[in-house]
Structure 1
Amino acid sequence: MSKTNKRKKESVKDEKEHIVQAVMSKYFEKKKEEKISAIENDDSDHKETTHVVKKRRKVTNDDRNDRKWEPPHWKEHWENILAMRIRNKHLEPRGCDTIGDTITDDKIRRLHVLVSLMLSSQTKDTMTVAAMDRLLEHGFTVQYALDIDIDELGKIIYPVGFWRRKAQYIKDTCQILRNKYNDDIPNTIESLCALPGVGPKMAYLTMDFAWKSNQGIGVDVHVHRISHRLGWLPYDTKTPEQTRLALESWIPRDLWNQINHNIVRFGQTQCFTVKPRCSTCLNRNICPASTSKDTVKHLKQK
């Protein structure tokens, strides 16, 4: 073979290899982009689902019958919490569930319940109750709220958290009660949540305390925190509303209106945010978050 033909053949071969490499390079580059895109989509989906309540899985009994999820030992947890409320009664502050007990006019009593819950946000019960006692001394009604200067109202409810903003909420709410509800408070969750400064927790508790209507579980920081500690949630929740839905998925409805004030008192007297009293807690051997388990008893229970 002549040198010229040999060079031509080698040139053609090099060109073919170059084309193959270019094609393969594009192929692998495309695959890489697809892989990155898939990872990003998975990541995006994961980020979205962290803010959404996940679908709960059904649990199947040994006999193949479907039943709703429920946490182990929850009945014992609940009985112990009720027992500890009796034991720690002397440590409990007055709460919003006691507001209006001495008021005979139903409209005014319901108003005081609603306002006490509006004041209770990010405020200790002792401060909330003291503020409500001062409002009661001033003869607080819808008319009183409409007549009083906002600065004067602020002085009465001080030092509850965000007292200036709450004073405005109270005046705006009372104006709505005058215009739409004949000086009474609404009797539905939707209407209550439409009032200034009223969220779902307040609405469910208002329906319970003011209207004696069991519509749902009021979830505050205590209920949200302790539900996680006790393992009462079938999935991790990020917000109180997600916690409410998760709890309502398995807690018997006749207990819904008992959850908040019992769990809150448990959180105020026993299961503190920092340094909970695990050593004296009746649930110490059956609580997933306990730091004071009796090893021998715990092994026997398992």
Structure 2
Amino acid sequence: MSGPRHIIMRRSSGGIGTRSKNRAVQVEQAAGECPAVKRRPTKKALKVAYESSQNEVVCQDPQEDIKQPKWEPKNWREQLANIREMRREKGAPVDVMGAEKCCDRTAPPEVMRYQVLLSLMLSSQTKDQVTSAAMSRLKEHGLTVDSILNTDDAILGSLIYPVGFWKSKVKYIKQTTEILKQQYSSDIPDNLADLVKLPGIGPKMAHLIMDIAWNNVSGIGVDTHVHRISNRLRWVPKETKTPEETRINLENWLPRELWSEMNWLLVGFGQQICLPVSPRCAACLNKDVCPAARLSKDHRKRPLPGPAVE
């Protein structure tokens, strides 16, 4: 005859015996009447501390991958020190005729900033000597927002000729100047997002404008010189095809306090030593640590094939 199972426990002078108590629990479990048994809480996995290359302790879950060190090129500090030494005399065209030298520092701040913007617009695909001469003619004519808006396109073209793509630049200058007049009270934007919206202004120009005109380092100004030299020195993990791609790669590893220096430093180096064609490798202090240099039998350095240059 089936029915509920009865539990019989004997009393003793000392209460329920240990053996009887265990037996009672077993019977209750068999009858499905035993309450949930409390389990011991599992210990939480401890985080493991690793020491980084900067002597900082990084706590990390043992199940996660160990953080990999940030990529940086081999010998870059030595290469940079050598380039600084070669640029110590500051005798390259960029040193005396670059955008920073073309503006009138005695003019009102908004006029000075407008001149910085125009000098960089003119500098695209143009040698510094040609840009500097065009800026001199413009300043003599009157280089303010109002004076440029009141200048006939044909006259403006004659003032900036023979800068590269001068006809297109006449159009861009007029369009940009009108925007500055209407939207920025004859000043220039103080942020990268608005600068790159202006006709004729690309990322390289915008970063340089932010640095020179606003004293705000927003990124590295990468032109063809910086692009070429970064690839020759292998300052990028793999060969890059455009200056903008080079900029992104450089900013991923180069310390931010060096960003402002890079354009001026490498442009001058590219104008004097690391030329686009027939670079002067024999005179370069990096000849023994430059991946793009090869020593021929007559002790002249020849660069490896690299990306397209100007």
TM-score normalized by structure 1? Answer: 0.74
Residue 75 of structure 1: aligned partner: 77
| Offset, 1:67 | 1.6
> Deviations along 1:31-52, whole A, 9 cap, x unmatched?
xxxxxxxxxxxxxxxxxxxxxx
- Counting only pairs closer than 5 Å after superposition, residues 1-302 of structure 1 correspond to structure 2 as 66-87=68-89, 89-93=90-94, 94-292=97-295
In structure 2, distance between residues paired with 1:77 and 1:162: 35
Q: For the aligned residues, what is the CA RMSD?
A: 1.9
Between the aligned partners of 2:92 and 2:254, the Cα distance in structure 1 is 27
Give CA-to-partner distance per residue, 1:87-130, whole Å, 9 cap, x none.
Answer: 4x334352112222543311110000000000001000000011
Q: Is 1:285–1:293's contact at 8 Å kept on the other side of the alignment?
A: no
Matches of 1:249 and 1:155, distance apart in 2: 42
Deviation (angstroms), 1:291: 3.0
SS at match of 2:91: helix
Secondary structure at 1:224's aligned position in 2? helix
Larger relative contact order (Cα-Cα within 8 Å, sequence gap ≥ 6)? 1
Once the two structures are TM-superposed, the CA of residue 236 in structure 1 deviates from its matched residue by 2.2
Check conservation: 1:285, 1:292, Cα contact below 8 A: no
CA contact (8 A) 1:207 1:215 kept: yes
Answer whether contact 1:68 1:250 (CA < 8 A) is retained: yes
Which amino acid in structure 2 is aligned with residue 85 of structure 1?
R
> Are the aligned partners of 2:222 and 2:243 in contact in 1 as well (CA < 8 Å)?
yes
Which structure dedicates a bigger proportion of its chain to helix? 1
* Equivalent residues of 1:214, 1:256 under 8 A apart: yes
Aligned AA (1:69): W
* 2:110/2:188 contact within 8 Å kept: yes
Separation of aligned partners in 2, 1:215 and 1:204: 6
Q: Which amino acid aligns with 1:206?
A: I
Separation (CA, whole Å) in 2 of partners of 1:200 and 1:242: 11
Structure 1 counterpart of 2:128, one-letter code: D
Tell me the distance in 1 between the aligned counterparts of 2:168 and 2:116.
18
Percent identity at matched positions?
51
Ranges in structure 1 where 5+ consecutive residues have no aligned partner: 1-59, 295-302
Paired positions, count: 233
Name the amino acid aligned to 2:86: M
Distance 1:100 1:140 in 2: 10
Call closer, same or farther: CA 1:74–1:197 in 2, change over 3 Å: same
1:220-262 CA distance string (max 9 Å, x none): 1011110000010012221111111100000000111110111
What is the identity, as a one-letter code, of the residue corresponding to 1:117? Answer: L
- Secondary structure, counterpart of 1:145 in structure 2: helix
Conserved 8 A contact 2:75-2:289: yes
1:7 match: none
Alignment deviations for residues 261-285 of structure 1 (CA, whole Å, 9 cap, x no partner): 1100000000001110000101000
Tell me the SS of whatever aligns to 1:194: coil
Structure 1 runs of 4+ with >4 Å offset: none
Distance in structure 2 (CA, Å) of the matches to 1:183 and 1:86: 38
Task: Render the CA deviation track for 1:161-220: whole Å, top value 9, x for unaligned.
Answer: 111110111111010001100000001111111000110000000001111100000111
Corresponding residue SS for 1:291: strand
The CA distance in 2 between the partners of 1:91 and 1:126, in whole Å, is 11
